[in-house]
A and B are shown apart, each in its own frame.
Chain A
Amino acid sequence: MAETILELKDMRVRFSTLDGAVDAVKGVGLHVKAGETVAIVGESGSGKSQLMMATMGLLASNGQAAGVASYRGTNLVGLPKAELNTIRGRKITMIFQEPMTSLDPLYTIGDQLMEPIMHHQKLGAGAARSRAIEMLKLVHIPEAGRRMGSYPYEMSGGQRQRVMIAMALANDPDLLIADEPTTALDVTIQAEILELMAGLQQRLGMGMVFITHDLNIVKRIAHRVYVMRYGEVVEEGETAALFAHPRHPYTRALLEAEPTGRKAPPPATAPRILDGTGVTVSFKIGGGFLSGPPIVLKAVDRVSVSLRQGQTIGVVGESGSGKSTLARALLRLLPSEGAIRFDGRDIARLDKEAMRPLRKELQIVLQDPFGSLSPRMTAGQIVTEGLLVHEPSISRRDRDLRAARAFEEVQLDPLLRNRYPHEFSGGQRQRIAIARAIILKPKVVVLDEPTSALDRQVQKQIIELLRDLQSANNLSYLFISHDLAVVRAMADHIMVMKNGVVVEQGSPDDVMDHPQDPYTQRLMKAAFVNTANG
């Protein structure tokens, strides 16, 4: 029987805000044994991150922690900072979600790795250096010795996350806390990182707490699971048992949140509505008066798309594959080469003024529900902004009525239309963004990762909403996503992109179950480890 490393009893976290106290965590108990991986699952706002932050003494200044967090008999809550620091960063370490910002851009990887080693283990620079290189090799960074001198910007997201893991492991911790370490990464890289972490955990025999909202990751990596909701643990148990027989209705809802269903392709007679032939988008990097000729980068290289009425084309690929750029070029939001026909009319050469009336028909819903709504306008104003442009004659009262109707269409309470974006949840905001697009009765809507920033359950609701809207209004979608499960539920045709080129396309079942191209095969393998049943 392995010994218990960390035991939380009745942990509470309270934040004092302008609107009074908010209880983020309401009495949670859990324990982690040596060599065990424990997952904490929940939607955003369930308090799962705050629980571990409180344990580590990292709460924001308006947060208050109470309860017992005992690490091998020492209560971490309320421990003086000096004593806490002998444990924190040495015996318990953390990895955060965002690999882009958790490394200091001004120091080399080597400096950042060596500093905690020298600090905690009292080693000299030489010894620390060889330890750091050893750690980089452990996390499979090629050419570890040379990479010591690299700056964070020289590395990819996946490599940075590996460096973060190396930093966390450098002092032989007893316990590693990983807060959504793979959420910001592409599927293929996500799979590699998870594999690495599972392997390291077994080899080094430490305990691991894995915070995530993604049940598929839990299934792969965790021994035991705690399900959190509204600051409380609603269910806990061995992973296999919990997945086989979920007891709490919330756990069942989480498990069933996987998007389901298929979309039937439109009839073969459906007219072609948006047609791109040989679309190429190139960016010039650098260049100018003193720096010589610019480097030309082709983000999209001779891609042809044909979208028919009522059809949904799913565009998949990793970040940087050019899928968003392609969509923006088709909407003429970016300059491009090649022919683009909309409704039988060539729009590739139209200027801004000539495009303006057509904007009504071609709409876009963007990924980030926090960034795509102007924070100083009310939801109603945001939704009706397009009416100001395309139907300038209607009165303020009518606009308000149209806003209310659009709110009903996306299943939001119309009474909320005078609220501001920050008063809505992520899913509600995405509904507002969808309302903004459909209020103009467009023919084509580009959906640029509309569900990626949302929790699974909310994702499912948004997908259902989008499908309903499509069949009600006979919309055509260009659906961009890196999440293959979502694409499968939404699209009747799939294009796989890599480095600006379409490497494979076809019906979802063909592409997903029998991929031909080696890249597609790799993508499907990584994704299916995550999404399939085993």
Chain B
Amino acid sequence: MTDVAQHPAQQGRSLWADAWGRLRANRAAMISIYYLIFMAVICIAGPWFTPHAFNTIYQDYNRVPPSLSAYPKPEMIDQAVKDAVKRARVELDGWKEEGGKILITVSSAKPIDERMTRYIDRSSVFENAAVVDKPADGLRMTLGADIERQHFFFGTDTSGRDLLTRTLIAGRVSLSIGLLAGLVAVVIGVLYGATAGFIGGKTDEVMMRIVDVLYSLPFIFFVIMLVVFFGRNFVLMFLAVGAVLWLDMARIVRGQALSIRRQEYVQAAEALGVTRTGILLRHIVPNLLGPVVIYMTLLVPQVIILESFLSYLGLGVQEPMSSWGVLISQGAKNIPSANWLLFFPSFFLTSTLFALNFVGDGLRDALDPKDR
């Protein structure tokens, strides 16, 4: 007896540890996990480090294509100067660029007001405009201004907003909806399904018929109804998506619970006199978790796609907030003139979904009890 107290018992390797080992051996799944972590980090932290806010509008940069070099391009400066001078209602005599600064010479029939520099400043290309030289008659003037260098790695959208920042911000929204609505669906589904499956009998019948009724409601009408009654808001998205997707989860969990209930270890627990709650918590739920985890990884992409679909229809997230679905729908309208508006958000969305599905597949292989 004494040696029992002295020697610590050997640690066993649980099924979870086993599954983790198998998952680690699956290269595609591991790369996908790293990719998802990377995606989550850049979506959360990225917008703080990009040079633009997601809702800043650059009037002079409507739909500029993605580029690694800075804007404005030389040919754009000419246009910008012409536009700004035109707005100030003076004649442009000429301009030249000197080491990051620009010198503009203007003339007019009437004396020129010095406050016209504001018109130059108002352009998103220039800043710090100031009068350099003004002859006494005041009919001519030379202005100096800094050229504001901007980077648009992903280009800009139709209103002149930076697509990189917007894609990252949209990623925050899409990922959090995916995760939260997925979680809502899983929690409701697991509790509902496990209860129905474990209690069984009439209770099970009634609970599952309720699920059938909910299944038969057309999803889109359901969402439109919610929008009509409660207006458009973010929380509604969770509700709508979560309310629909927990049904699948409940069915899967119920089936699992039914089969686990007939396992001999549950019978053995009953013979020990373990209470229903004890059986549910110690035996049924832990053995359910495998399929639930797998289904959850496959549910998150489903939620993201649903959200994209709703946003595409205009029922989802509202401007200036954005989600990948919204960006894609805007991009789709601009395919001929600005294909990058479609390309970047869809690349982010599809690669994320791809990675999620790979992880789900890897988990299924890792957790499948048939393997042992």
Contact = CB atoms under 8 A, between A and B. Distances in A.
Interface string B64-103: 0000000000000000000000000000000000000000
Contact of B15 (A333, A420, A433): A420
Given A371-B263, A373-B265, A374-B282, A380 B9 contact: yes
A380 B273 CA distance: 18
B273 A366 contact: no
Given A360-B273, A401-B4, A416-B9, A371 B15 contact: no
B272 A404 contact: no
A375 B21 CA distance: 17
Interface stretch (A383-391, A461-469, A492-500): A383-391
Interface residues of B, number: 35
A467 B40 CA distance: 61
Interface in B248-265: 263-265
B272 A419 contact: no
Majority secondary structure, A binding face: helix
A375 B16 CA distance: 10
A368 B61 CA distance: 73
Contacts of A333: 267, 270-271
A390 B265 CA distance: 18
Interface in A393-412: 400-401, 404-405, 408
A155 to B, nearest CB: 24
Contacts of B228: none
A423 B13 contact: yes
A420 B282 contact: no
B216 interface: no
A371 B265 contact: yes
B286 interface: yes
Given A331-B271, A333-B271, A414-B9, A389 B278 contact: yes
Nearest to A332: B271
A290 interface: no
A518 to B, nearest CB: 34
B313 interface: no
A414 B4 contact: yes
Size band of the interface chain A makes with B: 35 or more
A418 B267 contact: no
Interface in B165-190: none
A357 B10 CA distance: 33
B275 interface: yes
Nearest to A375: B15
A374 B15 CA distance: 11
B273 A422 contact: no
A374 B278 contact: no
A415 B264 contact: no
A422 B369 CA distance: 11
A436 B272 contact: yes
A420 B12 contact: yes
A363 B265 contact: no
Given A401-B4, A420-B12, A389 B272 contact: yes
Contact of A436 (B1, B16, B263, B268): B268
B9 A418 contact: yes
Interface of A: 18, 331, 333, 355-360, 362-364, 366-368, 371-380, 382, 385-386, 388-390, 400-401, 404-405, 408, 414-420, 422-423, 433, 436, 440
- Report, nearest first, the 10 A-B pairs whose CB atoms are least far apart: A359-B273, A419-B12, A372-B264, A371-B264, A376-B286, A386-B272, A404-B4, A374-B265, A356-B273, A364-B271
